[in-house]
């Protein structure tokens, strides 16, 4: 039996043991707590973008079950995308030219906006998405007889074979390069040598059901480093061709690698927005931008179309990655352009200072250097389901001024009703119509249906007729780069009559036109508008016009290797120019193929096209 002293000693030892045990637990818990807090501190900025973790593990394969040749009803798919990213919005910040993540994806379903009141919160954008009016015509207007169906499908197959002819030439002579030169069978690398043709063609291949070609291209793209550049790149061209192509192909195919490449490219270009106003520099060296503190390109003025044609791509990138900074950057550019002083409401001059945010001239053009800025106002509004009314207001102001000041009747004999779209410079109307401006009929058509502006559809139909007339009036049946025209009611200047040459057709320029730039770069704009108007009206005459243009391209632009642009579209000696830009795959051939497809294939009520014809799924209201 234990004596009293031993019993007391045991009790003392037991209490000591318990005290030591509890103290040990307390110390362990304290260490664990402080260690966890320390680990959760934000990492310091570095030159490596590997530190950015945007929580894309929940990104889903949105189109795994889509038919490769009939990508139709994507309503449910878009809803899944929107629900998947609600509440997963993070941000990135910049230190000099570096960017790091500051907030992981968080539950934002009940989060209040923490940005300044004059900024737009991307979370609020997502929550305000609504259904917009239908763009495409009633399905009954597309009913066809068995004979009409057979004809349409044969024409679509002709376009597909044309694509394969051009693609196979690229594969044989220029694989991995940006473009193939179709007469000399050599290469061109004007877009950083990442394979611009390959990326631009991805979604067209998927839509056409060319899965083997798609797989070969993506296998190559998987090894391309989109974060470095040997020389400066065009921010605009890189965004619309590469970023747009990667994002669209990802949405159609569900290939996660393509989204990862898009994310890497988007992050690498973020420092290009580090101008004093936030308007991106026109050009940027990706390598220097990520490795050299304070790197800036040579000073230049911002160009309207380049600064204002990034909205769709970066908003889509924000949606798919959950990084709202991508949207914040381009929305800020829109705000700067919106607030800049303008002489005429809705008219945005072509040049703007990246230092002051002020416009530098008064040149207005819906063709080169202005075109896609206006296009993206209505398309961004459509893409986000009307969540930001600013885009509608800016678009309507622009179209109202365009209709009032830039649309004129001409003096073309036998075509007195033709309307022409000119430009404005130094307070004077410039009677020159560009091929690039022939996207306007398509833009007006989708805007008309979306915003209930029937007068815009009437104007779209008339301007499209002028664009087609320009094609139908030449020796080749292909439209010129631009031409100057006499305005109705104005006396014809005898000096201008001296400019008439027999190069429009075998005889003379049509009376009413006095000057022409006759080159053809395989451009898509007229075909684009024919496609949109067919989908909006159901009028099959647009298919006939598109077929005539395709036949002309086959006749005059086809080479043993691919297709080539032309040095002149009129005259007795038609000469090819040994050039086939990547947009021939992305735009011209895609729009032709869709023109001869059923209207549920890439429906305008489900998708919105970027300016390089890469289709993006539109946002839908989120019911989560």
Which pLDDT band, with edges at 50, 70 and 90, does 298 fall under?
confident
Which pLDDT band, with edges at 50, 70 and 90, does 362 fall under?
very high
Catalytic residue status for 539: no
Q: What is the pLDDT of residue 472?
A: 92
Q: What is the pLDDT of residue 13?
A: 54
DSSP 8-state assignment for residue 10: H
Contacts (Cβ under 8 Å, ≥6 apart) of 228:
268, 286, 287, 290
- Among 213, 456, 525, 605, which one carries the catalytic annotation? 525
Q: What is the pLDDT of residue 292?
A: 84
Q: What is the pLDDT of residue 96?
A: 38
Backbone torsion region of residue 391, taken as left when φ is above 0, otherwise alpha when ψ lies between -120 and 50, otherwise beta: alpha
CB 52 within 8 Å of CB 267: yes
Closest CA to 473 of 432, 508, 434: 508
Q: What is the pLDDT of residue 267?
A: 97
Q: What is the mean pLDDT of residues 504-514?
A: 59
Cα–Cα distance, 6 to 511 (Å, whole number): 125
How do residues 120-146 score in pLDDT, each as one tens digit? Answer: 889 899 999 999 999 999 999 999 999
Which pLDDT band, with edges at 50, 70 and 90, does 70 fall under?
very low
218 annotated ligand-binding residue: no
Cα–Cα distance, 85 to 259 (Å, whole number): 14
Contacts (Cβ under 8 Å, ≥6 apart) of 409:
416, 417, 418, 419, 420, 487, 488, 489
Angle, CA 372 vertex, CA 76 and CA 275 arms, to 5°: 100
574: phi then psi, degrees, rounded to nearest 5: -85, 130
Q: What is the pLDDT of residue 36?
A: 43
227's tokens = 């974060």
Cα–Cα distance, 622 to 158 (Å, whole number): 41
Using the Cα atoms of residue 202, residue 607, residue 613 and residue 593 in order, give the sign of their dihedral.
Answer: positive
Catalytic residue status for 525: yes
**Are β-strands 351-352 and 302-303 bridged in parallel, bridged antiparallel, or unpaired?**
antiparallel
Q: Where does 226-292 show beta strands of DSSP type E?
A: 233-234, 283-284
Q: What is the pLDDT of residue 59?
A: 33
Q: What is the mean pLDDT of residues 488-506?
A: 62
Catalytic residue status for 371: yes
Confidence check: pLDDT of 45 > 90: no
How do residues 215-245 score in pLDDT, each as one tens digit? Answer: 999 999 999 999 999 889 999 999 999 999 9
198's tokens = 């390959």
Confidence check: pLDDT of 162 > 70: yes
Confidence check: pLDDT of 95 > 80: no
463's tokens = 């301007």
Q: What is the pLDDT of residue 15?
A: 57
DSSP 8-state assignment for residue 369: T
CB 244 within 8 Å of CB 312: yes
Of residues 269 and 427, the one with the higher pLDDT is: 269
Cα–Cα distance, 298 to 258 (Å, whole number): 32
Which pLDDT band, with edges at 50, 70 and 90, does 2 fall under?
very low
Q: What is the dihedral of CA 514, 518, 522, 526, to 10 degrees?
A: 10
Residues in a beta bridge with 92:
101
Chain-centre distance of CA 41, in angstroms?
A: 37
Cα–Cα distance, 573 to 343 (Å, whole number): 46
Grouping H, G, I as helix, E, B as strand and the rest as coil, residue 617 is strand
Q: What is the pLDDT of residue 506?
A: 41
Q: What is the pLDDT of residue 516?
A: 87
- Among 121, 313, 481, 503, which one carries the catalytic annotation? 481
Give the C-alpha distances (Å, rounded to integers) separating 462 from 136, 415, 469, 505: 19, 11, 11, 23
Q: What is the pLDDT of residue 3?
A: 46
Highest mean pLDDT among 63-72, 81-90, 256-265 belongs to 256-265
Count the helix, strand and coil residues of the chain and give each as a percent rounded to the nearest 5: 50, 10, 40
Of residues 500 and 270, the one with the higher pLDDT is: 270
Q: Which fold has domain 47-115+225-405?
A: Glycosyltransferase (1.50.10)
Cα–Cα distance, 382 to 394 (Å, whole number): 13
Catalytic residue status for 237: yes
Chain-centre distance of CA 539, in angstroms?
A: 27
Q: What is the pLDDT of residue 30?
A: 53
CB 286 within 8 Å of CB 230: no
Kindly report the average pLDDT of the chain as a whole number: 84
373: phi then psi, degrees, rounded to nearest 5: -60, -50
Confidence check: pLDDT of 25 > 50: yes
14's tokens = 């037991």
Confidence check: pLDDT of 74 > 80: no
Cα–Cα distance, 391 to 397 (Å, whole number): 10
CB 125 within 8 Å of CB 562: no
How do residues 318-342 score in pLDDT, each as one tens digit? Answer: 999 999 999 999 999 999 999 999 9
Cα–Cα distance, 451 to 449 (Å, whole number): 6
Q: How many residues does the chain have?
A: 624
Confidence check: pLDDT of 607 > 70: yes
407's tokens = 């649309």
Grouping H, G, I as helix, E, B as strand and the rest as coil, residue 257 is helix
Closest CA to 371 of 65, 611, 187: 611
Question: pLDDT exceeding 70 applies to what percent of the chain?
Answer: 78
Which pLDDT band, with edges at 50, 70 and 90, does 295 fall under?
confident
Q: What is the pLDDT of residue 48?
A: 33
Q: What is the pLDDT of residue 112?
A: 31
Q: What is the pLDDT of residue 332?
A: 97
Q: What is the pLDDT of residue 26?
A: 61
Q: What is the pLDDT of residue 100?
A: 36
Q: What is the pLDDT of residue 623?
A: 45
- Among 371, 375, 434, 612, which one carries the catalytic annotation? 371
Q: What is the pLDDT of residue 99?
A: 34
Confidence check: pLDDT of 43 > 50: no
């Amino acid at each position: 039996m234990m004596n009293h002293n031993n019993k007391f000693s045991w009790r003392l030892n037991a209490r000591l043991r318990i005290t030591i045990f509890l103290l040990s637990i307390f110390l362990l818990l304290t260490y664990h707590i402080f260690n966890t807090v320390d680990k959760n501190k934000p990492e310091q900025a570095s030159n490596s973008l590997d530190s950015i973790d945007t929580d894309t593990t929940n990104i889903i394969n949105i189109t795994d079950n889509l038919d490769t040749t009939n990508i139709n009803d994507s309503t449910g798919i878009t809803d899944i995308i929107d629900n998947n990213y609600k509440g997963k919005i993070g941000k990135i910040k910049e230190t000099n030219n570096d960017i790091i993540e500051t907030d992981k994806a968080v539950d934002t379903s009940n989060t209040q906006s923490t940005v300044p009141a004059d900024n737009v919160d991307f979370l609020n954008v997502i929550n305000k998405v609504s259904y917009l009016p239908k763009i495409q015509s009633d399905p009954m207007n597309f009913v066809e007889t068995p004979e009409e169906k057979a004809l349409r499908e044969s024409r679509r197959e002709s376009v597909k074979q044309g694509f394969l002819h051009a693609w196979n030439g690229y594969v044989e002579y220029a694989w991995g390069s940006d473009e193939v030169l179709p007469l000399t069978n050599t290469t061109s690398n004007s877009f950083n040598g990442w394979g611009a043709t390959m990326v631009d063609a991805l979604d067209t291949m998927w839509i056409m059901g060319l899965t083997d070609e798609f797989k070969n291209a993506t296998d190559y793209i998987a090894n391309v480093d989109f974060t470095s550049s040997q020389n400066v790149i065009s921010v605009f061209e890189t965004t619309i061709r590469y970023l747009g192509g990667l994002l669209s192909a990802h949405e159609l195919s569900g290939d996660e690698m393509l989204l990862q490449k898009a994310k890497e490219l988007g992050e690498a270009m973020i420092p290009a927005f580090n101008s004093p106003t936030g308007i991106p520099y026109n050009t940027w060296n990706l390598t220097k931008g990520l490795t050299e503190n304070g790197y800036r390109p040579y000073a230049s003025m911002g160009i309207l179309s380049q600064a204002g044609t990034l909205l769709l791509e970066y908003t889509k990138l924000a949606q798919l990655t959950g990084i709202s900074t991508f949207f914040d950057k381009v929305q800020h550019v829109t705000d700067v352009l919106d607030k800049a002083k303008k002489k005429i409401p809705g008219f945005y001059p072509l040049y703007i200072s990246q230092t002051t945010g002020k416009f530098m001239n008064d040149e207005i053009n819906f063709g080169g250097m202005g075109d896609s800025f206006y296009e993206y106002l209505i398309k961004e509004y459509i893409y986000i389901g009307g969540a930001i009314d600013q885009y509608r207001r800016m678009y309507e102001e622009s179209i109202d001024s365009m209709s009032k000041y830039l649309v004129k009747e001409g003096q073309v004999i036998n075509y007195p009703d033709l309307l022409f779209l000119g430009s404005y410079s130094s307070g004077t109307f410039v009677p020159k119509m560009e091929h690039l401006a022939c996207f306007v009929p398509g833009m007006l058509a989708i805007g008309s249906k979306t915003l209930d502006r029937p007068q815009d559809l009437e104007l779209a139909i008339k301007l499209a007729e002028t664009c087609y007339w320009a094609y139908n009036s030449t020796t080749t049946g292909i439209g010129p780069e631009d031409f100057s025209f006499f305005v109705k009611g104005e006396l014809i200047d005898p000096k201008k009559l001296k400019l008439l040459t027999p190069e429009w057709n075998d005889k003379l320029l049509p009376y009413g036109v006095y000057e022409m730039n006759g080159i053809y770069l395989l451009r898509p704009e007229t075909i684009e508008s024919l496609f949109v108007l067919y989908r909006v009206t159901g009028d099959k005459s647009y298919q006939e016009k598109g077929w005539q243009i395709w036949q002309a391209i086959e006749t005059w632009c086809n080479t043993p290797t691919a297709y080539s642009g032309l040095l002149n579209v009129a005259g007795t000696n038609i000469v090819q120019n040994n050039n086939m830009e990547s947009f021939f795959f992305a735009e011209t051939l895609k729009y032709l193929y869709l023109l001869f497809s059923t209207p549920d294939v890439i429906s305008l009520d489900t998708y919105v096209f970027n300016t390089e014809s890469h289709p993006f799924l539109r946002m839908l209201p989120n019911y989560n």
